[in-house]
Chain A
């Protein structure tokens, strides 16, 4: 279907089903139960899952296929975000122009940075991209304050022109919408204690993520993709055969940057504020973590990695000592305090610690990331079931 092989089609369909049912799947615990703390099915986090999924898919096109580790991808996310907010301020509060322009602006920005950075490879390429991203961050945070809002961030305001929209006399800033459908609108369904929130913004982002995922599959399977893999395996040999690899690399870099810009545009479409720290090196590092955690060079890996990191950031960071005491209140007093003291450093503001330990575990035991975990599990199942059938005769 759609020019995909059978295996890729089923992967795309599986992802589509997951995206469609996420509001249900991510809320496995009833609303009033103690475990509801671990529910992730609320609009803000679901939007983040798919948006950072797009960001990671795009990063993986560069890192997974060519092996070029860009350490400055957040710059494109930030550039896209700023472009998006300006569209929401100047043109219209409809999200379509914001998303399109943010992708284009990030692409142009990527041409500029890519043209310079791609003169080097390996660690030098990483450092160059990192330098550019930090430069962008510093500029956005101080010198370019009139354009970026500095450390305060860029927001929509009541008196923005919005030339395509009519006069706004409601006294409130209009919310980003898609032809009248506000991104914050939700349909809440209450079934026997479970509360599912089907959010308009999430589905808009989800559909765009599916398109982005489909395009990524096509790139992975195309001759262009094979060329990129060839660059990864031995660029020197390619050069010796008389092939100029730089146009391929630049195209790949720009596509990857546009994915990041698209993610940035979607972020401001969901919540119209862009802060400079979106460009900081920690944000660039985060997407590297997402990709490695999920599985470099695999199609679905980066999406899983993005989901896992965002889950930790938003769920674990909100557990406080008060909640811990509630959970362990069944233990005797001394033991309760002891258990809480042991767990406390790993939750709340200490969620980075938990994430770090998990990252170490994945790198040491599962170098292929979460995808490898899935493969190992499915392999062990299929082995048990039809061990005999799988055995091939020796040559």
Chain B
């Protein structure tokens, strides 16, 4: 490093090389070339499917991915078209989105906000994804939604049930089709009061992250309004697999109802543990002891087996809905049929919501005539649609939350098949679930096209 020798020949040579280097490349900065982030310029458009493939929500993630692949098939005009045939908006024609073939990349969120953001960032930066969707956990959904807002792409939330996603942490670039904790509380409480009486004492076990908090709060508020009393609320870490130490104190706490604010693998383990401890056979305060699971899914019911019999909860959707409740929920059978034909079993509610989100996004782009997040936002705001299996639905513009009917379900005592585990007890109409967007705070901000 101490000696530098300059020769005429060397200087000329390096000068020529440098000159060639400057002349060749077409340089553009991210802010000048494209109208918005990752504008698709070729014949295809890339979507990013970011789902948990490992961790407590892996089952849900796998089912979400199946639905995404099915939706891509239908958008590209393959397969039987599924719910595209029943969807009230007829903008989609089966030749991709805006004439561009739909391609996708997948990633593993590991049900951790850090890993989910890394995976989403690589999809945006490396693969040029124009839209990110997925996340089987509200913690992940909130984190990835914030990232998409910063990066300037659209986030279509998958299975996320916390009020925060479209409440406290709502973002202009994020949209949610799934229902939320508030709606669960509002739908479930009247049924519980009816079935179990108005003088119950509840004990909550709550998953220790934002979804658990809002669900516990929603169920508490709405059951306490009916006259119930809350004895205790204990938080359990998301990674817990053995719940026996949490279940053991419940029986002697003076409570006569156990509310499990758990989802996925957590719920399967905690419910199994509760049944093993004999909670369901026990009596407390002179009443039969009861267990309630606010957010239910068929996958969880399958995991918990016979233990779910007679247990109440809510779901966003169930594959038997159209057969049970009639043609208001048209689209359900079309989706179940095409999903079943491809994979050999009925879809879960996670699969349903992600399929709907993909279709809704594609439809919004088609109607807006652009992939620009601001155009998509305009097309989805206060969009009223039907035929996606939930009956008439509204995508509210002020918080990007969907409003539709919610189901109260109960575990079947004698299931006919391994999939027919839940029976619909009641359907709460959308009017009863609508709330003022201001109650959760947070600001939507403005749409960010990234460039």
Contact = CB atoms under 8 A, between A and B. Distances in A.
Interface string A183-224: 011111111100001000000000000000000000000000
Contact of A13 (B1, B25, B29, B172): B1
B29 A153 contact: no
B256 interface: no
A51 to B, nearest CB: 12
A142 B235 contact: yes
A43 B1 contact: no
Contact of A158 (B24, B69, B125, B443): B443
Central interface residue in A39, A155, A192, by most chain B CB within 10 Å:
A155
Contact of B25 (A150, A158, A191): A191
Contacts of B118: 44, 48, 314
Interface in A322-349: 322, 348-349
Nearest to B123: A318
Contacts of A173: 146, 149-150, 445
Interface string B217-235: 0000000000000000001
A152 B30 contact: no
Central interface residue in B121, B143, B172, B238, by most chain A CB within 10 Å:
B121
Interface string A63-105: 0000000000000000000000000000000000000000000
Interface string B122-141: 10011000000000001100
Interface string B25-64: 1111111010000000000000000000110000000000
A185 B29 contact: yes
Given A13-B1, A175-B150, A318 B106 contact: yes
Given A273-B114, A275-B143, A320-B106, A42 B445 contact: no
B210 to A, nearest CB: 5
A152 B125 contact: no
Contacts of A152: 113, 138-139, 142-143, 164, 209-210
Interface residues of B, number: 50
Nearest to A188: B28
Interface string A266-291: 00000101110110000000000000
A171 B173 CA distance: 12
Contacts of B139: 151-153
A251 interface: no
Interface of chain A: mostly helix, strand, loop or mixed: mixed
Contacts of A44: 118, 121-122, 125-126
Interface residues of A, number: 48
A245 interface: no
B208 A273 contact: no
Contact of A188 (B29, B108, B210): B29
A150 B208 contact: yes
Nearest to B53: A349
B114 A9 contact: no
B24 A278 contact: no
Interface in A154-190: 155, 158-159, 170-173, 175, 184-190
Given A44-B118, A349-B53, A349-B54, A318 B105 contact: yes
B375 interface: no
A108 interface: no
B25 A275 contact: no
Contacts of B26: 189-190
Central interface residue in A142, A192, A274, A317, by most chain B CB within 10 Å:
A317
B112 A275 contact: yes
B113 A275 contact: yes
B147 interface: yes
Given A151-B209, A153-B139, A277 B29 contact: no
Given A141-B237, A172-B448, A317-B107, A189 B27 contact: yes
A317 B119 CA distance: 9
Given A44-B118, A152-B143, 18 more contacts: A1-B2, A44-B121, A44-B122, A44-B125, A48-B118, A141-B208, A150-B209, A152-B138, A153-B113, A172-B446, A173-B445, A186-B30, A188-B33, A190-B27, A273-B113, A273-B117, A318-B106, A348-B106
Q: Which 10 pairs show the lowest CB-CB distances between chains A and B?
A: A151-B209, A171-B446, A275-B114, A44-B121, A42-B126, A153-B113, A152-B139, A42-B125, A349-B53, A275-B113
Interface of A: 1, 9, 13, 39, 42-45, 48, 138, 141-142, 145, 150-153, 155, 158-159, 170-173, 175, 184-192, 197, 271, 273-275, 277-278, 314, 317-318, 320, 322, 348-349
